[in-house]
Chains A and B, each alone.
Chain A
Amino acid sequence: MTADSELEPNDDEIEDRQLVLGDLLNHVLDKGVVISGDVMISIADIDLLSVELKLVLASVQTALEHNQSTPDADLSLLRSRSGGR
């Protein structure tokens, strides 16, 4: 291992943090008590009202796979390694 590589962040630790954070976001967005009011999420300035949230996440993943550069949308936390690298 070179001195340069020793200075680099630990890839496993970074990936672990991203996985844990992505898992948390998936749960906050997709689990929990469902109410009779609105569930509102906006992505890329498009309002999505009372939608099936899994569909939203799938759409985000599809968008990321088709367009790696998504203006005004830092959704890297939702990327899997396979989809984002």
Chain B
Amino acid sequence: MPTYLFCVLAPAGAEAVPAGLTGIGGTPIRALTAPAPASLEAWVSTITEDALRVSGRDLTAQALLHNEVVNAALALGRTPAPARYGSRFPDDAACVADLTQRAGELRAILDHVAGAVEIPTLLVPRELAAPANERPKPGDPAAGRRYLESLRTRALDADRRRSAAEREASRLRASVGDLVRDEARSFTAAGVMSIAHLVPMAAMGRYRDAVATFVPAEDFRVVAGEPRGPYSFSSPLRSDRSGHDSGSPSHNG
């Protein structure tokens, strides 16, 4: 039976997996240990071969369930490195072997996020980006030129929106100052700047106050999210991104 991985943690002290915590398919969450020198703990559950064969609403529900297990670790005061939704191994031994092989990378991630949470803040433009251009209609001799012009206008508009959002994100970053340990940004096709701040748990109150008093430019509004596991700071690619995730136009917030 496959082993599903929710998150990786530094070795446990007295805190164990909360009793009754279940994961995908309702099976119990277990703590797997990769012994020294890896010294890592993984929260996993056993799933059926078909457990992840879902679509639509069930996919959304499973992704949120994955996040609830990550949140359960956070609630214990233990900051995990969340796995991506859908991460599975053939069995427990394969999971432990992978953790052991990559212990150095995982320990570096855990050291970076220790004692902190990820807090999302969205900078939402008052006017969201226009929908995609219409395709040229057959038989219209000027349609091709108009279409290319509209593409150019759209590209320029996207650049302008992104520049404005980056300016506001930098202003927000300055306003929260040293309350933030790290930051990742991504820009969505709709023009929303998604900012993830890595905030020490002890500074969460002051951070919220700082965000609440931040006044964005008048063409933006601020939407604050709830603290979550540090997804944005657990990807291996971050090691060569110098603190900023430039995101991708394929994100759609």
Residues of A within 8 A of B (CB): 16, 19-20, 22-45, 47, 53-55, 57-58, 61, 65, 70, 72-75, 77-83
Contacts and interface: CB of A to CB of B under 8 A. Distances in A.
17 contacts: A16-B223, A22-B252, A23-B120, A27-B232, A28-B84, A29-B86, A33-B109, A33-B236, A35-B83, A44-B55, A54-B250, A61-B189, A75-B60, A79-B252, A80-B253, A82-B129, A82-B190
B82 A33 contact: yes
B8 A19 contact: no
Given A27-B228, A29-B63, A36-B98, A42 B55 contact: yes
B90 interface: yes
Given A22-B252, A81-B190, 18 more contacts: A19-B124, A22-B253, A27-B196, A30-B84, A31-B231, A31-B235, A32-B84, A32-B85, A32-B235, A33-B82, A34-B236, A35-B5, A36-B98, A42-B55, A44-B56, A75-B60, A78-B252, A80-B252
A81 to B, nearest CB: 5
B131 to A, nearest CB: 5
Nearest to B98: A36
Contacts of A24: 64, 67, 120, 225, 228
Given A22-B253, A27-B228, A37-B94, A74 B131 contact: no
A72 B55 contact: yes
A23 B225 contact: yes
A44 B55 CA distance: 5
B95 interface: yes
Nearest to B130: A82
B54 interface: yes
Interface in B117-170: 120, 122, 124, 128-132
Interface in B77-112: 81-90, 94-95, 98, 101-102, 106, 109
Interface in B42-87: 52-57, 59-60, 63-64, 66-67, 81-87
List the 5 closest A-B pairs by CB distance, nearest first: A80-B190, A73-B56, A31-B231, A58-B250, A37-B89
B87 A81 contact: no
A77 B229 CA distance: 20
Contacts, number: 177
B68 to A, nearest CB: 10
Among A16, A23, A30, A36, residue most surrounded by chain B Cβ atoms (within 10 Å): A23
A76 to B, nearest CB: 9
A76 B194 CA distance: 18
B251 interface: yes
Contacts of B102: 36
B48 to A, nearest CB: 12
B105 to A, nearest CB: 9
Among A22, A32, A40, A80, residue most surrounded by chain B Cβ atoms (within 10 Å): A32
Given A34-B235, A80-B188, A80-B189, A23 B253 contact: yes
